[in-house]
Structure 1
C-alpha cells in the first residue's frame, strides 16, 4: 500500500505513511529523508533525532481536489558540534510551505486566472498567490528590456474603470508599457527609467497636458506631435452638437431616424456610398446649418492632407476665419485646442514619416477584449499578461559593432551569440492569444 501511495505522489525522496480523503481534499502523511550530515558543521553520522511534529505543506491539486502534505518535521542534534537543526526539505519551498511544483503551477496560473480562483483551487491564501505572482512579474520585468524607440507614442486606455497610460514604439508598432494611471508624476517616473532617453526623437500624444509637461521635463530634446486622430475627432464632436441641436425641430420619429443616420454624417465624404449620400442629402437639404457644419468638418480633415507645414498653417488660418455664421460657439472647443497645441499640431507636417497613435487604438480594443474574457483580473495581472506572455518583436544583430569604425563587415562566428534586440510586444500577436 505504501509503495502504491509513493507512486501516486511522485515524490521519491519521501515515504508516504498514510493517506485520507476529507471534505477539504486529500491528506498525505509523509516522512522526509534523514540528513546525511549535520547542516551546521558538516559532520557525517553524528546526527540524532531530537523531537518531531507534523507541518502542513500544500501540493498540486489532484482531480480537482486540494492536496495537503503533512510532513513529519524532525529536529536533529549533532553530537559533534552540539547544535540542533532541521534538515532542508527536497522539492519544497519553505517560505510558502508548498512543493516546488505547486509554486511553479501558481506562477503560471496567476497569469491566467484571478488570484481568488487560484487560491481557492489550491487551498493557498490569496496573499500568497499575489506574492508569488509579484515575484514572477518582477523577474520577467528585469529579464525583458525593450529597445528605446525613436518615435514614442503616449496614449491612454480605459481599463478596470480607470484611465491607464500606454507607451508604444510607433516605428515598430509594439507595446512597451502600461501604467496604472496617467498622472504627470507617474509618467515622469516612467520616462526617467527609459534607457538612452536621448534616442527618443519624436513623441506622439493626445492633448493631455500632463503628458506634454512630463515629456518636456524628462525628454526636452524630443519633438512633440499631437496625434491627429484625437484632433479631428473634435470636428466630429462639433458636428454632433449641430445634429443634436436640431432635435427640437423634429418629430419623435424624425429624431430616431436622424440618430440612426448619425454614422453617415460622421463619415468622410469619400467613404460614403451612393445610398448613404442620398440619405445625407435629404437631411442637409432640409437643414442648411447641418450641411455647412458637415462641409466645415471635411475642410478641417483636409488640413491634414497638406504636404508641408506652411500649407497647413495657411489652411488652418482660413478654416478658423471661415467658420459658418452662427456656429462659432459650436467650434469653440476645437479652435481653443488648436490654439493651445498649435506648435505640436504643426510639427506633424515636419517629421520624415507620419507620426500618429492610430495603431494604439487596436491595442485598446484588444486589451479590453482580454479584460472582458477574464473578469476579476487585477490591473497588475492584465499588465503582466500583455507585456510578458504575448510574443515580442525581436531582431538578432548579425554583424558586430566596432567601437572605432562603426558597423563591421564580418559577421559573428558560430562560437559567439547574436545580439538580440527586443522592441516590445508585437501587436499582431494579440490575435493569437
Structure 2
C-alpha cells in the first residue's frame, strides 16, 4: 500500500495474518488544516484499518503511527495524527477496500447485500461505495442516438384496497417507470423516468441538448397514445415506428375476444373443454407456419363443423395472419406496391367480417398506419426496450425489492448499460484515442 511499509507479519491463533505497518511518507507529517510539516512528535497511536482480503486466511492490518504537534502559531489545530490518501483520517476501511467493494457490487455481485457480506461491511457503507463507483459513469453525457426506444415497466406490484363506499377492491397505487433506450446502438438505458405520462417523457427529452435531439431520426414505441403525443411534441422531426411485436399481440387479443364473445352468444356460457373453439384456442394464437399440417387441418375442420361461431373465429384468424404476412415484409426492402397489396388484403378480409372486434382492430391499423409502414420499411423495433425491461425486473428480484426509488433507478441503469461501457472501453483502447 502506497505510503506504508511492512514492519513484521505475525500469525494469529485463528490462522489470520497480522501485518504491522509503519508510515513511509513524509507528507503524512503535514497538518491537515494548514499544511505545514511538523517535526515535533507528541505521541504514538495504533489503528486497525480493514484492507482488501487476500487468500483464504484473513489479513489484519495494524498501523503504528505518530501523533504530531502543529508548530504553526496561526493554526488553530494543536495536534493531529498521521493520515494518508490510502487510509484517510478516522477511516476504518482503506480506500482500496471501498473501491474494490464498489466495483465488485457493480460487476460481480447480484446486489449490494451480497457485496457487503463478502467484504464484511455494513449495507450503508457498501452501498455508498457502489454509488461512488457508478454515479460518475452514469452522469457522463449521453452518447449520440439515432433510434430512440420508449417503453414502460411496472415497479413492483399494484397495491389493492377496499373502497369504503362500494366495498369493492380497487387499485390504490400502481407505480410505473418509463425507460428510454438506445434502440439501435450500444447506449443502453439512457434514462428511467418516474411515471408514464406524455408530459414526463416530453420534459426529459426537452432537457437534453439540441444537438443530441437533432440526431434522433426515429422513435420506436408500442401503441401508446401518451408516448406518441410526447414524441410529437418534443421530437416533431422524428419518425414514429410502431413495434411489430405489440401489433401481433393486438391481433392475437382480437382473435381471443372474438372467440370468447362468439362462445357466449351461442352457448350462453364460457368455453369448455368439449367445445371445439376452446380446444383449439392455443393453436389459434400460433403462427400458421409453425403449425404442422395435421394440427392446422384438425383445428380448421373442427371450427367449420361448429357452424357460424367457428367460421367467425376463422375469419378473425385469417385477418391476424394477413397482418403477420404484412409485417413479414420488414427487413426485405419491399416495393410499395407489395405493401399496398398486402394491406388491401387485410382490409378486405376485415371488411367482410361481421365481428366488431375485427372492425375495431382494422380501425387501429388504419390509425397507426404511418408508424406501421415505418416499421416495415426501416425494420426498427422496440426489442431493446423489452430486453431492458426484463433486466430491470431481474435487478429488483435479485435485491428482493427496493424501497428507495433512486437506489432502484441507479441499479437498473447500471445493469442496462454494460454493453455501452464495454464499447466505450474498446474505443478508448484504440491507438491514437485519448482515454
Q: Same fold (TM over 0.5)?
A: yes
- In structure 2, do the counterparts of structure 1 residues 395 and 17 end up closer, same or farther at CA, with 3 Å as the change threshold? closer
Structure-2 residue corresponding to 1:294? 317
Q: For 2:17 and 2:400, locate their aligned partners in 1 and report how far apart those are by CA, in whole Å.
A: 30
Structure 1 residue 239: Cα displacement: 0.8
- In structure 2, do the counterparts of structure 1 residues 176 and 34 end up closer, same or farther at CA, with 3 Å as the change threshold? closer
Q: Which ranges in structure 2 are unaligned for 5 or more consecutive residues? A: 158-174, 403-407
Structure-2 residue corresponding to 1:215? 231
- In structure 2, do the counterparts of structure 1 residues 68 and 339 end up closer, same or farther at CA, with 3 Å as the change threshold? farther
1:185-207 per-position Cα deviation (integer Å, ceiling 9, x unaligned)? 55335433365211211211112
Structure 1 residue 115: Cα displacement: 1.2
Structure-1 residue corresponding to 2:202? 188
Structure-1 residue corresponding to 2:101? 106
Contact 1:58-1:123 at 8 Å conserved across structures:
no
Structure-1 residue corresponding to 2:170? none
1:71-109 per-position Cα deviation (integer Å, ceiling 9, x unaligned)? 456431144657533333252255864113312220222
The within-5 A match list for 1:147-296 is 147-149=144-146, 151-157=147-153, 163-172=176-185, 175-177=188-190, 179=192, 181-184=194-197, 185-191=199-205, 192-193=207-208, 195-245=211-261, 246=263, 252-254=272-274, 261-285=280-304, 286=306, 287-296=310-319
Report the secondary structure of 1:140's partner residue.
helix
Normalised by the length of structure 1, the TM-score is 0.70
Contact 2:187-2:417 at 8 Å conserved across structures:
no
In terms of mean alpha carbon deviation, does 238-247 or 287-296 score higher? Answer: 238-247
Structure 1 residue 62: Cα displacement: 5.5
Q: For 1:395 and 1:117, locate their aligned partners in 2 and report how far apart those are by CA, in whole Å.
A: 29
* 2:50 corresponds to 1:58: yes
Structure 1 residue 376: Cα displacement: 6.1
Contact 1:160-1:379 at 8 Å conserved across structures:
no
Structure 1 residue 383: Cα displacement: 2.6
* 2:341 corresponds to 1:321: no
Report the secondary structure of 2:432's partner residue.
coil
Structure-2 residue corresponding to 1:392? 423
Normalised by the length of structure 2, the TM-score is 0.69
Q: For 1:360 and 1:43, locate their aligned partners in 2 and report how far apart those are by CA, in whole Å.
A: 57
Report the secondary structure of 1:13's partner residue.
strand
The within-5 A match list for 1:390-429 is 391-392=422-423, 417=432
Q: For 1:380 and 1:168, locate their aligned partners in 2 and report how far apart those are by CA, in whole Å.
A: 15
- In structure 2, do the counterparts of structure 1 residues 275 and 316 end up closer, same or farther at CA, with 3 Å as the change threshold? closer
Contact 1:312-1:346 at 8 Å conserved across structures:
no
Q: For 2:183 and 2:417, locate their aligned partners in 1 and report how far apart those are by CA, in whole Å.
A: 16
- In structure 2, do the counterparts of structure 1 residues 251 and 169 end up closer, same or farther at CA, with 3 Å as the change threshold? closer
Count of residue correspondences:
386
Structure 1 residue 36: Cα displacement: 5.9
Structure 1 residue 238: Cα displacement: 1.3
* 2:126 corresponds to 1:138: no
* 2:361 corresponds to 1:334: yes
RMSD of aligned residue pairs (Cα, Å): 4.5
Q: Which ranges in structure 1 are unaligned for 5 or more consecutive residues? A: 1-8, 398-413, 421-433
Structure 1 residue 168: Cα displacement: 4.0
Contact 1:225-1:345 at 8 Å conserved across structures:
yes
The within-5 A match list for 1:70-81 is 71-72=63-64, 74-79=66-71, 81=73
Contact 1:14-1:32 at 8 Å conserved across structures:
no
